[in-house]
Amino acid sequence: MSDILDIAWTEKYRPSKLGEVIGQKPIVDRLKAFVKAGNFPNMIFAGNAGVGKTTCAIAMAKELYADKINEAFLELNASDTRGIDVIRGRVKEFARTLPLSSGLVKIIFLDEADALTSEAQHALRRTMEKYSATTRFVLSANYASKIIEPIQSRCVVFRFKQLTEEDMLEYISRIEKTEGLKIDKKAVEALVYVSEGDLRKLTNILQSAAALSENIKEENIYDIASRARPKEVIAMLRLAVSGDFVNARKELNTLVLSYGMSGEDILIQSYREALNLDIEDKKKLKIVKEIGECNFRIAEGANEKIQLEAMLASIAL
């Protein structure tokens, strides 16, 4: 899939109006009030990836500025330019420049602002203070706690909730009708499962599947996402719980070889499916504990294969 096609899909399904944003009604209503008033504070958009933070910022700017958006809106991805130089350079230069239209309050949108270095954030704080009369800042972050307290105290924090299954089904239906696709019921369920509330991930997976065929099946989704079906992970855990370590290990190897899953991927799916096992709650707690121990060891640099097999062995014992 080419980069041009990826961008085309992203822009095609990105709402141009706040009212089209899916699943964030309380936040959208507040932003609409700011647009109507023509004035608004500095803001932090906090939440998981793919829930609409960037979309809300761009949609708000489009409603505020219309054809004047280029002179009043600056978007930067802070993860690409994390240092103090970009704050002292591009951000400060845009903030200090007066807009061509009088009375226009400009917006500087810093996407992934939690990736800014501490020095850059302190420089940003000073810039926010100095140009508060003409410029507003909107910071997007997966983790608001990584933004320094002086900046947080100067902003209104909007916490974006995880999208529900109904929100995602609505979005899938929109793409299905627009693109003329046929997505069977199990494929829809698979899309919701593998995307985990991230509409950007969902769009990319669906786009890749649509490039192969207009008739999208469940197996297409799991193959493209490199994820195992829930029943396969459950089968591995059930074998381990029953004490059958040898066959549980075979299932683990199948997941690694057939889907190319990493240790972290297997642990995340194991955690999700452990709670769905038909066993007593105390055993579920022990399984979750073993998954947590394994995750910690792998994060510290231990061998994935050894740790995953050790986890199954502990469960089997």
pLDDT in tens, 30-53: 999 988 888 889 999 998 888 889
Which one of 2.60.120.260, 1.20.58.100, 2.30.140.10, 1.20.272.10 gives the CATH number of domain 230-316? 1.20.272.10
C-beta of residue 183 within 8 angstroms of C-beta of residue 216 = yes
Fold of the CATH domain 14-159: Rossmann fold (3.40.50)
**Terminal CA-to-CA distance of the chain, rounded, Å?**
46
User: Which residues fall within 8 angstroms of residue 126, CB to CB, at 6 or more apart?
Assistant: none
For the stretch 173-229, pLDDT in tens is 888 888 888 998 999 998 998 888 888 888 888 888 888 888 888 888 888 887 888
- Contact between 197 and 163 (Cβ < 8 Å): yes
* pLDDT reported for residue 86: 72
165-225: CATH topology: Helicase, Ruva Protein; domain 3 (1.10.8)
| 58-78 pLDDT, tens digit each | 889 888 888 888 888 888 876
Cα–Cα separations (whole angstroms), residue 175 to 51, 199, 226:
17, 12, 22
Position 220: which residue type?
N
Q: What is the mean pLDDT of the chain?
A: 85
The pLDDT of residue 264: 87
pTM of this structure: 0.78
Percentage of residues in the chain with pLDDT exceeding 90?
19
pLDDT at 3 over 60: no
Token representation of residue 38: 């023509």
Task: Parse the chain into domains and list their residue ranges.
Answer: 14-159, 165-225, 230-316
Q: State the pLDDT confidence band at 297, using cuts at 50, 70 and 90.
A: very high
Q: What is the pLDDT of residue 18?
A: 87
